[in-house]
Structure 1
């Protein structure tokens, strides 16, 4: 398993999503979004799943847009607000309304405690990919050489502080949100103890 074999689809929509992520997210969050694609693609290989690769790539790249200051929703949890921003992007890319809705669902569900692949294969892959990158879940499910290659290409940088601060701030303002659940579940401690930090 190598980066070269699992690159995102080379489509104009994926390139535009990457540009949007780099433009609006901090460097640490943009790198997290790119790693999320590579972890999701790796998990798809390991689990024998066949996702819609373009949908998964766009969802991975844009899943944290709700943490950007420009898209901070007053009442809406960040994953839902960010999902709808991504849907607007999808509309501009010419995606059908059904595919735009799938983008909303995948991004919203990535913050669920668990997503059944029978319900949503892309949501499942993004949930476990972000679970690895943020909380360190399933660190042994992907080959160590692949983990090291992705981390070398897209270092974690200030992710623990950046992500932890942004989610904690959203949790304080939105106490019934998934952000609040993440913080209550020890988000900062999990970020600090993530085995990817020491690879």
Structure 2
């Protein structure tokens, strides 16, 4: 009797390590509905903010919900990424955690704060890829895995972190992939493109950017994505660059810098 071979879903760590993060024609097509939904949400959100009708005017998030975990592992992770990230990317990683935590509060999502913080800090450490046709998240996940092994993070939790990192720039990440993966993807999308920023309280947006300044993030990150798109043709950065017009959508995100 023949066995059916099943592959890991698009964007997961298993898929990314198997394919190098390169999308087939069928996979690119399958991501189109999620990409179109995201683009529609971006337009609707910006329109709501421009007319002062956005949900963030009515929503509230407790300030302590945004604070990163104050644990030895979190502090060690902070120290570990200092030499791996530019100042702009380090603050982006911190903001991605804060936005994800804020959305978790709004959506009443339970998650592991330490694991989300670890994933957020490491998610862009491999950007841009130094290996042709191998997505940068392979290296980011490898660095997070090595750190987790050195600090005796249990294997199950370690793989939750690496999976969140691998998934984070895949259109359409849902809670089915786990709360940490969903919140990292959502938090990074707030910071890069402004997706769902209209749902965040105005005070939260101001506070997070004040605490973790953007320092010309848009310019630096756009250039990194273009480099990644060139390095990994048909990868997810290439997909976002060509079909989500990432350079333009990043420029239009509702943040200065």
Do the structures match in fold with TM over 0.5?
A: yes
Residue of structure 2 in register with 1:51 after alignment: 111
| Distance in 1 (alpha carbons) for counterparts of 2:240 and 2:80 | 26
CA contact (8 A) 2:131 2:231 kept: no
Q: Within the alignment, does 1:125 sit opposite 2:192 as a pair?
A: no
Q: TM-score, normalised by structure 2?
A: 0.72
Q: Within the alignment, does 1:91 sit opposite 2:184 as a pair?
A: no
Shift of 1:112: 1.0
CA contact (8 A) 1:6 1:42 kept: yes
| Distance in 1 (alpha carbons) for counterparts of 2:62 and 2:223 | 32
CA contact (8 A) 1:66 1:81 kept: yes
List aligned pairs for 1:1-199, cutoff 5 A.
1-67=61-127, 72-184=130-242, 185-197=244-256
> Whose helix proportion is higher, 1 or 2?
1
CA contact (8 A) 1:2 1:149 kept: no
Specify every segment of 5 or more residues in structure 2 that has no aligned partner in the other structure, as ranges. 1-60
More off after superposition, 83-92 vs 94-103: 94-103
What per-residue deviation string (whole Å, max 9, x for no partner) do you get for residues 129-168 of structure 1?
Answer: 1111001111111111011011111111111111111111
Shift of 1:3: 4.3
CA contact (8 A) 2:160 2:180 kept: no
RCO comparison, higher one (Cα < 8 Å, 6+)? 2
CA contact (8 A) 2:169 2:236 kept: yes
Shift of 1:97: 2.0
Shift of 1:115: 1.2
Number of equivalences: 196
CA contact (8 A) 2:133 2:232 kept: yes
Specify every segment of 5 or more residues in structure 1 that has no aligned partner in the other structure, as ranges. none
What per-residue deviation string (whole Å, max 9, x for no partner) do you get for residues 20-58 of structure 1?
Answer: 232211111111000011001101100000011111010
Root-mean-square deviation (CA, aligned residues, Å) is 1.6
| Distance in 2 (alpha carbons) for counterparts of 1:49 and 1:141 | 15
| Distance in 2 (alpha carbons) for counterparts of 1:2 and 1:159 | 26
CA contact (8 A) 1:3 1:149 kept: no
